[in-house]
Amino acid sequence: MSDQAVVYVVDDDAQARKAVATLVEAMGLPVQSYGSAEDFLAAYDGRRPACLVTDVRMMGMSGLELQEELIRQGKPMSVIVMTGFANTPGTVRAMKNGALTLLEKPCRDDELWEAIRNGLAADREALAEGQTVDELRRRYATLTAKEREVLKHISAGDANKIVARRMGVSLRTVELHRQSVFQKMGADSLAELVRMVVALEGENKSAPA
């Protein structure tokens, strides 16, 4: 991953593609343009933070199908969908796929400019959150089976005595496991530890089946 944000423009209309790319360059941002969704997918290496500006109707894979393919491949990013043929089903589909916004062609430069700025800011935030969860997952993986069981009870609000009784171990054993959990997870307080567990549980719920 790189700190330098990139804007990707995918549109089979060369003139429209060039217009967006020129605007992005005027913003002082790197831009990469592609004439088809297939070309973009073949070249994209998952670099983020990023923002994708794509047209709905294109020869071959559509912009909406491109959105869905990125989701399927586990390569999310902020997406701005542009179309000259806005319709309710297409708009709903784009937004359900996580599009930041849908702009009707031709749109004003300042409108697209603002959308791209918002898109990059949102992707930076999402990327940071994802990296945080990855780190929590790494820490959780270092816990032993007993420590994970203790963590489960701690996050449920159970007192040490109750945990000891339910696990069939001594209170001292629970206290040692508890201390180890805090150290391995890097938590300074019970509230922080619970927030970590909530973040991990939220990640598991959002994962595709």
What CATH code is carried by the domain that includes residue 21?
A: 3.40.50.2300
Show which of 96, 128, 160 is a domain's final residue.
128
**Beta strands in the chain, from DSSP E residues, in sequence order:** 6-10, 31-34, 50-55, 78-83, 101-104
Query: Residues 15, 100: one domain?
Result: yes
pLDDT value for 107 = 87
Whether the per-residue pLDDT at 140 is higher than 60: the answer is yes
3-state secondary structure of 60: coil
- Cβ atoms of 53 and 12 within 8 Å: the answer is no
Query: Residues 59, 123: one domain?
Result: yes
Whether the per-residue pLDDT at 161 is higher than 90: the answer is yes
DSSP 106: S
Query: Residues 61, 150: one domain?
Result: no
Q: Which region among 14-23, 64-73, 79-88, 120-129 has the lowest average model confidence (pLDDT)?
A: 79-88
Query: Residues 107, 149: one domain?
Result: no
Query: Residues 80, 177: one domain?
Result: no
Residue 137: inside a domain: no
123 Cβ neighbours under 8 A, 6+ residues apart: 5, 48, 49, 50, 51, 77, 78
Show which of 103, 128, 153 is a domain's final residue.
128
Report the Cα 197 to chain-centroid distance in Å.
18
Give the β-pairing of 101-104 and 50-55: unpaired
Query: Residues 109, 10: one domain?
Result: yes
Reading phi first (left if > 0) and then psi (alpha if -120 to 50, else beta), residue 46 is in left
Query: Residues 55, 82: one domain?
Result: yes
Average pLDDT over residues 166-187: 95
| % of the chain at pLDDT higher than 70 | 94
Domain that holds residue 179: 142-206
pLDDT value for 81 = 92
DSSP 91: H
Query: Residues 110, 150: one domain?
Result: no
Query: Residues 44, 100: one domain?
Result: yes
Show which of 97, 128, 159 is a domain's final residue.
128
C-alpha distances in angstroms, 101 versus 162, 180, 184, 205? 50, 45, 41, 25
SS percent in the chain: helix, strand, coil, step 5: 60, 10, 30
Query: Residues 14, 109: one domain?
Result: yes
Q: Could you tell me the pTM of the whole model?
A: 0.69
Residue located via tokens 């804007």: 7
Return the closest-CA partner of residue 12 out of 33, 28, 29.
33
Query: Residues 40, 115: one domain?
Result: yes
DSSP 34: E
Mean pLDDT of the chain: 89
Query: Residues 107, 24: one domain?
Result: yes
Return the closest-CA partner of residue 54 out of 108, 106, 85, 16.
16
Residue 56: inside a domain: yes
Q: Total structural domains in the chain?
A: 2
